[in-house]
Amino acid sequence: MAFSECGGIYRVGIVGMGTIGRAIALALDSGDIPVHLAAVHSRDAEKAEAFAATLNAKPPVMALNELIASSDLVIEAATQAALATIAPATLEAGKDLMVLSVGGLLDHPEWADLADRQHCKLYVPSGAIVGLDGVKGACAGRIDSVTITTRKPPEGLDGAPYVVEQGIDVYALTEETLIFEGSAREACKGFPANVNVSAALSLAGIGPDQTRIRIMAVPGGTRNMHDVEVIGEFGRMTSHIENVPSDTNPRTGKLSYLSAIAMLREIAGAVRYGN
Ligand X SMILES: O=C([O-])CC(=O)C(=O)O
Ligand Y SMILES: NC(=O)C1=CN([C@@H]2O[C@H](COP(=O)(O)OP(=O)(O)OC[C@H]3O[C@@H](n4cnc5c(N)ncnc54)[C@H](OP(=O)(O)O)[C@@H]3O)[C@@H](O)[C@H]2O)C=CC1
Residue 44's binding partner among ligand X, ligand Y, none (Cβ under 5 to 8 angstroms by kind) is ligand Y
Residue with Cβ nearer ligand Y (105 or 115): 105
> Applying CB under 6 A, which part among 27-35, 78-86, 167-175, 262-270 lies near ligand Y?
78-86
Residue 226 known to be catalytic:
yes
Distance CA 48, CA 46 (A): 5
Nearest to 129, CA basis, from 213, 71, 27: 213
Least distance (Å) between residue 142 CB and ligand Y = 27
Among 14, 17, 27, 213, binds ligand Y (CB under 6 A): 17
Q: Which residue is nearest to ligand Y (CB)?
A: 18
31 vs 168: CA distance, rounded Å: 45
- The amino acid sitting at 186 is E
Binding residue (CB under 6 A) for ligand Y from 61, 122, 163, 200: 200
Do residues 67 and 39 touch, judged by C-beta distance below 8 A? Answer: yes
Binding-site residue ranges: 128, 196
243 binds ligand Y (CB under 6 A): no
228 binds ligand Y (CB under 6 A): no
Specify the amino acid at residue 80: Q
The binding site for NAD(+) comprises 128, 196
Return d(Cα 41, Cα 61) in angstroms, integer: 5
Q: What are phi and psi of 153, to 5 degrees?
A: -65, 160
Q: What is the rounded CA–CA span in Å between residue 127 and residue 260?
A: 7
Question: Which is catalytic among the residues 36, 41, 119, 226?
Answer: 226
Residue type, 189: K
Q: What is the largest CA-CA distance in the chain?
A: 58
Report, in Å, the least distance between residue 275 CB and ligand X: 21
How many residues bind to ligand Y according to rule CB under 6 A?
A: 31
Q: Which residues are catalytic?
A: 226
Contact set with ligand Y (CB under 6 A): 15-21, 41-44, 47-48, 77-80, 82, 100-102, 127-128, 193, 196-197, 200, 248-249, 252, 256
